[in-house]
Chain A
Amino acid sequence: MTLHIVDRMRMQLKTYTMILALLVIWVLFGFLTHWVFFSPTNLSNLFRQMTIISFLAIGMVLVIVTGNIDLSVGSVAGFIGVVAAGLQAQILSDLLPRLFPSVSADSMAILVTVLTIVICLIVGALIGMYQGALVAYLGIPAFIVTLGGMLLFRGAILGYTQGKTIVPIEEPFKAIAQGYLPRSVGLILAAVVIVAIFVFYLSNRNQRKTYGFPLAPLGVDLLKAGGFSAAIVVYVLIMNDYQGLQNPVLLMALVAIVFNYITKNTRFGRYAYAIGGNREATMLSGINIQRNVFKVFILMGMLCAVSGIVLTARIAAGSVSGGENYELSAIAACVIGGTSLMGGEGTIFGAIIGSLIMASLENGMSVMNMGIEWQYMIRGLVLIFAVYMDVASKRSR
């Protein structure tokens, strides 16, 4: 009885500490930047910045939960970003007008964008299959496969770009990262989401009641749902004060919801946690570990593709240095968000908050005009500190 409640409280305590840490960092940067940090322009920027890392962090949760690691995500995202730029600037823009000469320029831009996205996702999946096969079926440690992959795909970027920046990028493609929802649509969306949150909380209570599980007092649940709703309203209002809800943030929310569902409600998700929690017991439960680890890496590859697409859309070019050191931010985001490097533990929600913390650090340090050398060192130390917190919390049990 007591243990159960303590367990739940510990989990929630973790979430609250995380959010508290975020607030402390924000207030600190707000103070240090004479509150420039909190300007709607900068906040809008910050959230757009975080999305690129968050896609990687979402995939990384699954990778780490199964007891693996992926050090190649930065290079892979960068590589796919360059591929996306190349497809638009060179390959597709040459090929398509010849195939469909009658299509108008505007429609052609949309067609190029859609095809680019599809091809990038396929390339991501293929890279995931390649790394997943080496890890799952050949049994090479993920650390080595992806450390190699980090150099392999960084090399591929250099080879493909020949050191040059690839432009131009189609307008519809840029909108993926740079576009905004009309303000009214943003408000309507917020209202819909708030209703959904309350419905979710109340139906969840009902379900728990049917199973006879302990219920938190109604007030507590309403307070939580209210808190989420308030955060959404405040967020939408601030964003509308600038230019509106950002497209990439919506995309991130969507991907996060899908992956949250995968981790909690599908067999594949359950198996991933079981594999990381106890590989042998999972194997003896008749679960194909290799196939599931393989799938995890394919998903990771596809999320690298999403990240690369948003990256290229944001900077409106294919850049040689795209995605550099993103693996560090993604891993740090997961660990800060409560994912255990020992495997078997971690949530998508935590990874999103972790990404926000990492993005806030990077954004805040830039706004402060801190030297890049300090930024690198601080990010490195934050990663180490986050892992230490994880290790220390294990020890105290």
Chain B
Amino acid sequence: MSEYILQFEGVTKDFPGVRALSNVSFKVRQGEIHGICGENGAGKSTLVKILSGVYPHGSYEGRVLFKDTELAFSGSSIRQAIRQGIAIVYQEFALVPQLTVGENIYLGREPVNTAGLVNWHKLYSETRELLSKYHLVIPFEQKVINLGVGQQQMVEIAKALAESASLLILDEPTSALAEKEVESLFEILHKLKAGGVTCIYISHKLEEFFRIADSLTVIRDGAVIKSLPVKATSTEEVIKMMVGREMKERFPRTRHQVGEVVLQARGISTSTDAAKTKRALQGVSFELHAGEILGIAGLMGSGRTELLTAIFGAPVAHLNGSVVVEGKEMPLGSIPEAMARGISYVPEDRKRQGLVIKETISNNMSLPNLKQFSSVLAINKLKEIRECQRLFDYLRIKSNSLMSSVESLSGGNQQKVVIAKWLMSKPRILFLDEPTRGIDVGAKYEIYKLISELAAEGVAVVMVSSELPELLGICDRILVMHEGKLMGALPVEQATQEKLMTLAAGMTLKEGESA
């Protein structure tokens, strides 16, 4: 066997009107962690679909060699790939929450006894063996619903490895993980590597490649720009290759003046709801100034989102505390009330919380703002369209018309629609919850620029993010949360990734380090 486990040779894949991959060639060495990076729409998911057999042999040109034999999936079942030893962990988990870890791992191929009934002892003992073989620590008799996101991902990996995969493909594995969970994921990947599993790691978070990958293939517009060892390159160089143009800085900063206090939150507390899906807040207090960009760091589930939604007025159990906006006490628990005081909230999950996906761009943008355009009886559509068009142009949303459905847009453009929706009301206080999650580098840059511009105009911005470099890059001050409590607030000049992570893990900073 050659030293390469996987080889793409001149693979071209066409869709009607679009060339998704053009003459793609690269090699993945046996036993390495091979990163594939590219912006959204660069062709990463097409690659994965060829490997999984979704696009069968013959639907693309060129050859794909796995262990020196050409892949020839018929496309009838994606199990063909698994049987050959290619396992894929997708961005979105495919677990049944009501079943246990063991049941999930063996779903559809449970060991049975002679009577045809499930042999539970065998199922769980095999699960235990599997987990210990790969050094995965998961309570395997627990229901998946009770696990954290990080552990759920381990279950996905275990499921993928259960059929003795020799090539593991991870598609955007960290998009839902907090820093600590990313750490343990990387630990697992190192162990797998030591155990001889080759791994293809697909992401658009550049830092991760430098922490985990051995070599890297950069793709752009369906073509391979370069394959190279990670040691031989730098973040700046990779970005340049990804976007095809030089980006002077990743985080544009415009000068902005921090003004007076516009929002004071005092002792915000909540209790968990019955489903325990929300973190209870424990007396969180902070101040927000006009023209300030305030970051909120913390692990997934530390209460960051809950803090913003509680102030914005989304329903929560047992809300206590007070919020003063521009000198006046704001009654809590009513979204229209918060909106009337100039607060906008761009939610975390744009598809679930931000967009009516079947509706047009303009209908989505104007949804919270219809009062602006309405008389007693009817909506003034002329006014509405003008305002939508203004933001459409301002945010440079890429679509041919305001009348297109948001379903047809890319992630970055969908996010821009959600932001437009919340800028239309001309907010004085803007809450952004993970505004750059799952969007490509170019769109991220534009959003950073927008945030800076808004701050320069005097808008007070609060930004929750799981990406520390992003917070350090554009914020003036960063709050850190842990298990519903505020651990500290650092001016950006004093903040470092290490300090933020220490606080986010629930530890205090050492002597001499202010928090």
Interface residues of chain A, those whose CB is within 8 Å of chain B, are 1-4, 7, 207, 210-211, 213-214, 261, 265-267, 270-271, 273-274, 277-278, 280-288, 344-345
B403 on interface, CB distance cutoff 8 Å = yes
Q: 9 tightest CB-CB pairs across the interface, nearest first?
A: A277-B356, A285-B368, A3-B408, A286-B335, A265-B378, A278-B356, A4-B404, A1-B400, A267-B370
Given contacts A211-B389, A284-B345, contact A4 B356 (CB under 8 A): no
Task: Provide the residues of chain B in CB contact with A287, threshold 8 Å.
Answer: 367-368
Which single residue of chain B is at the shortest CB-CB distance from A7? Answer: B405
Q: Return A347 CB to nearest CB of chain B, in Å.
A: 13
Q: Which of B132-140, B280-288, B346-354 contacts A (4 or more CB under 8 A)?
A: B346-354
Which single residue of chain A is at the shortest CB-CB distance from B17? Answer: A2
Residues 486-500 of chain B, each 1 if its beta carbon lies under 8 Å from chain A, else 0? 000000000000000
Task: Provide the residues of chain B in CB contact with A2, threshold 8 Å.
Answer: 17
Which single residue of chain A is at the shortest CB-CB distance from B378? Answer: A265
Given contacts A211-B385, A214-B401, contact A281 B356 (CB under 8 A): yes
A to B CB contacts below 8 Å, 19 in the list? A1-B400, A3-B404, A4-B399, A7-B408, A207-B381, A214-B401, A265-B381, A266-B377, A267-B371, A267-B374, A267-B379, A270-B370, A277-B358, A278-B356, A278-B357, A281-B354, A283-B314, A285-B335, A287-B368
Report the interface size for chain B: residues with CB under 8 A from the other chain. Answer: 41
- 11 further A-B pairs in the complex, CB-CB below 8 A; given A274-B359, A280-B353: A207-B381, A211-B385, A214-B401, A267-B371, A270-B363, A281-B367, A283-B335, A284-B312, A285-B367, A286-B338, A345-B358
B355 on interface, CB distance cutoff 8 Å = yes
Majority-rule SS of A interface residues = helix
Q: Return A111 CB to nearest CB of chain B, in Å.
A: 31
B339 on interface, CB distance cutoff 8 Å = yes
Q: Determine the distance from Cα of A315 to Cα of B254 in the docked complex, in whole angstroms.
A: 76
Q: Return B199 CB to nearest CB of chain A, in Å.
A: 34
Q: Determine the distance from Cα of A286 to Cα of B346 in the docked complex, in whole angstroms.
A: 12
**B368 near A286 (CB under 8 angstroms)?**
yes
Given contacts A344-B358, A345-B358, contact A270 B389 (CB under 8 A): no
Task: Provide the residues of chain B in CB contact with A213, threshold 8 Å.
Answer: 401-403
Task: Provide the residues of chain B in CB contact with A281, threshold 8 Å.
Answer: 347, 352-356, 367
B421 on interface, CB distance cutoff 8 Å = yes
Task: Provide the residues of chain A in CB contact with B335, threshold 8 Å.
Answer: 283-286
Which single residue of chain B is at the shortest CB-CB distance from A267? Answer: B370
Task: Provide the residues of chain A in CB contact with B402, threshold 8 Å.
Answer: 211, 213
- Between B312, B357, B378, B381, the greatest number of chain A beta carbons within 10 A of the residue's beta carbon is seen for B378
Q: Determine the distance from Cα of A286 to Cα of B312 in the docked complex, in whole angstroms.
A: 10
B336 on interface, CB distance cutoff 8 Å = yes
Which single residue of chain A is at the shortest CB-CB distance from B386? Answer: A211
Task: Provide the residues of chain B in CB contact with A265, threshold 8 Å.
Answer: 377-379, 381
Residues 282-326 of chain B, each 1 if its beta carbon lies under 8 Å from chain A, else 0? 000000000000000000000000000000111000000000000
Residues 84-99 of chain B, each 1 if its beta carbon lies under 8 Å from chain A, else 0? 0000000000000000
Residues 377-417 of chain B, each 1 if its beta carbon lies under 8 Å from chain A, else 0? 11101100100010000000001111111001000000000
Which single residue of chain A is at the shortest CB-CB distance from B359? Answer: A277
Q: Determine the distance from Cα of A281 to Cα of B381 in the docked complex, in whole angstroms.
A: 22
Q: Return A203 CB to nearest CB of chain B, in Å.
A: 12
Task: Provide the residues of chain B in CB contact with A286, threshold 8 Å.
Answer: 313, 335-336, 338-339, 368
**B400 near A4 (CB under 8 angstroms)?**
yes
Q: Determine the distance from Cα of A161 to Cα of B367 in the docked complex, in whole angstroms.
A: 48
**A273 near B359 (CB under 8 angstroms)?**
yes
Which single residue of chain B is at the shortest CB-CB distance from A277? Answer: B356
Q: Determine the distance from Cα of A283 to Cα of B339 in the docked complex, in whole angstroms.
A: 12
**A266 near B378 (CB under 8 angstroms)?**
yes
**B379 near A4 (CB under 8 angstroms)?**
no
